[in-house]
Amino acid sequence: MNITPPVPRRPRWRSLAILAVCLAPLLWPLQHLAERYYQDELAGQNRQTLDLYVANLLGTLHRYETLPQILGDLPALRAVLADPLRLETLTNANRLLKDIATQTGAEVMYLMDANGNTLAASNWDKHDSFVGRNFAFRPYFSEAIAGRLGRFFGQGTTSAKRGYFFAAAVRDRDRVIGALVVKVDLDHTETLWGKTPEQLLLTDHNGVVILTSRPDWRFRATRPLSDAEREAIVAIQPYPTQSPKPLNLEPKAWLTQTQTIEETGWQVSILAPRTLIDRSVRTVVAIGGATLLVVMLLLGLIMQRRRHYMDRIDFEAHGRQELEKRVIERTADLEGLNSRLKNEVLEREQAQQELVRAQDELVQAGKLSVLGTMSASISHELNQPLAAIRSYAENAEILLDHQRTDDARSNLKLISELTGRMASIIAHLRAFARRDRHAPESVALQPALDDALALLAKRRRAMAVELVRDLPEATLWVQAGETRLRQVLGNLLANALDALTEKANPRKLWLSAEQRDGNVYLYIRDNGPGFTSQALARAREPFFTTKTRTQGLGLGLAICDTLMRALGGELLLGNHPEGGALLTLQLRIAKPGATLPTSEDPSA
C-alpha cells in the first residue's frame, strides 16, 4: 500500500525573515529623524549658552574699556609724566593706581611715558612689578600713542599671565605725553564654564585659541598661519610660544556653533561631542528595532502554532513510513561510505609506498648528480697520484741501475703512500654513492665530515677557501644513516663553496660543533653573501634555486631537509650576524660504535 506523502508547506520563518529585511530600511528614516531632532535640541541649548557667555565676556570688557581714558586726566599721573625723577610723585602715583585696581578689580594698571617705559604701576611692590620695563613693542601702546583706544590680548612677558589690555593716551593739551594701560584678567571666564561635555573655544584674529575649557587646546592654531602672521607673533609676543602648534580636531566628531565678536575680532565657539547625539539616536533606533522585532516574533509565534498543529496531524499519518525510509537510506549510505573508506585506505597505503620509493629515487638521483659534478675534480685527484707514481717508478729504475738502493727504497715508499691516497679517494666515492639503510644507526660525525671534505678538497684548494675547524677532540656519535649523513654534509659544503664563487678573497669556511640538551649541533658558516629573505622563505622548496640552470636544479636543500627529518634531526637556515650564511644541523646523540679512520686530511 503506497501512502502519498504530504505536500511540503512553505517555511513560514523564511517569509518572516524576508519581511523583516524589507521592513528594516524603515529604521533609517527613524534614525535620520531622531538625529535631526536631537541635533536641533542640542544646538538650541548651546546657542543660548553661547549668547550668555558672549554677553558676560563683553560686559567684563566694557566695564574696563573707559577706565584708561578717564584715569589719564588724574593730576597725580600727569605729575609723574612731567617729572619722572621725583620720588614723591612716583610714590603717590603707584599707590593711587594700586587703590584704583583694587576697587575696580583690574589685574594691573600702569603708566608709560612716550617711549614705552613704565613709570608707575599698581604692582610696584610685587616681585613681578612692571616698573622700569619697556612695552613699546606691544600694539596697544602704538595705538594709544597714535590717539586711539588700544586693545590687545596676550600673555604677559613679565607676569606670564593672560589678560586683555586697554590703553589710552595721556595728553598735555594737544600733545601725547604718555599712555595709561589697564590689564583685565579673563581667566575666571574659563572657570565659569564648568565641567560639561561641551567645550569652549575662543580664538583671536590669528585663529589661535586664547580661552578654552580644555587646557591642552590653549595657544594652538585652528588654521594654518601666514608668514605675515608669524612675523607679527614674533614681534608682539602675544603667546608663550612663537610658533603655535596646530589644533587638529576631527570635524565629524564635534557639533560646532560659532559667534563672532566684531569689536575684538574674536570668535567664540561651543563644541559639543556628537556622541551626545549618537547615544540618544542609538537608543531611539534600538527601541524601534526592538519594537519591530517584538512584532515579528509575535507574528512568527502565531504562524508557528498554526503550522505545528497541522504538522502534528501529518506526522501521525506519515511518521512511521518516513522513519523506515530514512533507516533504509542511512543503511545504504553507511555501506557505501564504508566501502569508499576501505578503498581510500588502500589507495593511501599504496601512495605512501610510492612516495617512499620516489623519495629514495630522488635522494639517489641527487647523490649521482653531486657525483657527476665532482667527477672532474676526482679524476684530477687520481691523475695526480698516477703521474707521480709513474715518475717515482722510472726514477727508482734509474736509481737501481746506479746501485742507489736507499734512494730507490724512498721512491717506493712514496709510491705506496700515493696508492693509499688513491684507495682513500675511491673509498670515499664508493661510500657516498651506495644506497643507505632506512634504519638509523650510530655514526661518527667527524669521519663523515672528513669524507665530505675530501671529495671537495680539490675544489676548495682551487678557490683558495680557508677552512677553520673548531671540532671537539672526542668523537661525536649521532643517530643517522652513514651514507645519508655524508650526502647531507656533501650537499651543504658544496652549497657553501657555490656561495663563495662570486666573492673576492679572502674566502673562509667555518666548521664547529657542540653537544647539549641531548643533541649534537654542527655549524657550517661561510663569509659569502648569505640568504635573502625570499631564499630563507623558499629554500626548502624543491626546484627553487638562486643559481643558474647550469649550476643546479634547486634540489640540494630540499633533499637535505627531507633526509634530516627522516633521521629525526632538523636543518636550520639563517644568516650569521657578522655576514654570510649559517647552517645548523641538529642530530640526536647516539651510543658510540666502530669508528672508521679517515685516509686523507680534508683540510690539506
pLDDT digits (tens, 9 = 90+) for 292-350: 777 777 877 787 787 778 777 877 778 778 888 888 888 888 888 888 888 888 888 88
User: Cell numbers 506519515 label which residue?
Assistant: 318
Given 273, 289, 304, which residue is the final one in a domain?
Answer: 273
Alpha-carbon span 483 to 192, nearest angstrom: 90
Q: Which residues contact 69 (CB under 8 A, 6 or more apart)?
A: 149, 168
The overall average pLDDT reported for the chain is 80
The pTM for the full model equals 0.44
Residues 407-419: tens digit of each pLDDT = 888 888 878 877 8
Alpha-carbon span 528 to 345, nearest angstrom: 48
Asked whether residue 104 falls in the same domain as residue 245, the answer is no
Q: Has residue 431 got a pLDDT over 60?
A: no
Packing angle between helix 556-566 and helix 275-401, nearest 10 degrees? Answer: 100
Asked whether residue 444 falls in the same domain as residue 578, the answer is yes
Instruction: Determine, yes or no, domain membership for 257.
Output: yes
- CATH at 519: 3.30.565.10
Instruction: Determine, yes or no, domain membership for 312.
Output: no
Asked whether residue 153 falls in the same domain as residue 199, the answer is no
Alpha-carbon span 465 to 508, nearest angstrom: 5
Asked whether residue 552 falls in the same domain as residue 444, the answer is yes
Alpha-carbon span 413 to 58, nearest angstrom: 119
pLDDT for the residue numbered 603: 43
Q: Are 488 and 563 in contact (CB under 8 A)?
A: yes
pLDDT for the residue numbered 113: 92
Q: Grid coordinates standing for 549?
A: 640552470
Asked whether residue 216 falls in the same domain as residue 173, the answer is no
- CATH at 134: 3.30.450.20
User: CA torsion angle for 230, 233, 239, 242 (degrees, to 10)?
Assistant: 50
Instruction: Determine, yes or no, domain membership for 448.
Output: yes
Asked whether residue 146 falls in the same domain as residue 201, the answer is no
Asked whether residue 578 falls in the same domain as residue 461, the answer is yes
The parent domain of residue 100 ranges over 66-185
Instruction: Determine, yes or no, domain membership for 147.
Output: yes
Q: Grid coordinates standing for 369?
A: 648528480
Helix (H) or strand (E) holding 227: helix 227-236
Asked whether residue 456 falls in the same domain as residue 568, the answer is yes
Banded pLDDT at 3 (limits 50, 70, 90): very low
Q: Has residue 511 got a pLDDT over 90?
A: yes
User: Cell numbers 638509523 label which residue?
Assistant: 440
Domains identified in the chain, total number: 3
Asked whether residue 252 falls in the same domain as residue 111, the answer is no
Packing angle between helix 405-433 and helix 275-401, nearest 10 degrees? Answer: 150
pLDDT for the residue numbered 600: 41
Asked whether residue 156 falls in the same domain as residue 215, the answer is no
User: CA torsion angle for 127, 131, 132, 134 (degrees, to 10)?
Assistant: 110
Given 136, 158, 185, which residue is the final one in a domain?
Answer: 185
Asked whether residue 457 falls in the same domain as residue 580, the answer is yes
Q: How many CA atoms lie within 13 A of 45 on its CB side?
A: 13
Given 152, 185, 218, which residue is the final one in a domain?
Answer: 185
Alpha-carbon span 346 to 587, nearest angstrom: 34
Q: Has residue 92 got a pLDDT over 70?
A: yes
Q: What is the mean pLDDT of residues 91-107?
A: 90
Instruction: Determine, yes or no, domain membership for 344.
Output: no
Q: Are 244 and 221 in contact (CB under 8 A)?
A: yes
Q: How many CA atoms lie within 13 A of 230 on its CB side?
A: 8
Q: Grid coordinates standing for 261?
A: 565678536
- 600 closest CA partner among 472, 473, 443, 420: 420
Alpha-carbon span 472 to 462, nearest angstrom: 28
Asked whether residue 444 falls in the same domain as residue 583, the answer is yes
Banded pLDDT at 286 (limits 50, 70, 90): confident
Instruction: Determine, yes or no, domain membership for 170.
Output: yes
- 573 closest CA partner among 519, 517, 535, 521: 535
Banded pLDDT at 168 (limits 50, 70, 90): very high
Instruction: Determine, yes or no, domain membership for 553.
Output: yes
Q: Are 268 and 55 in contact (CB under 8 A)?
A: no
Instruction: Determine, yes or no, domain membership for 428.
Output: no
Return the biggest CA–CA distance within the chain: 145
How many CB atoms within 10 Å of residue 467?
Answer: 16
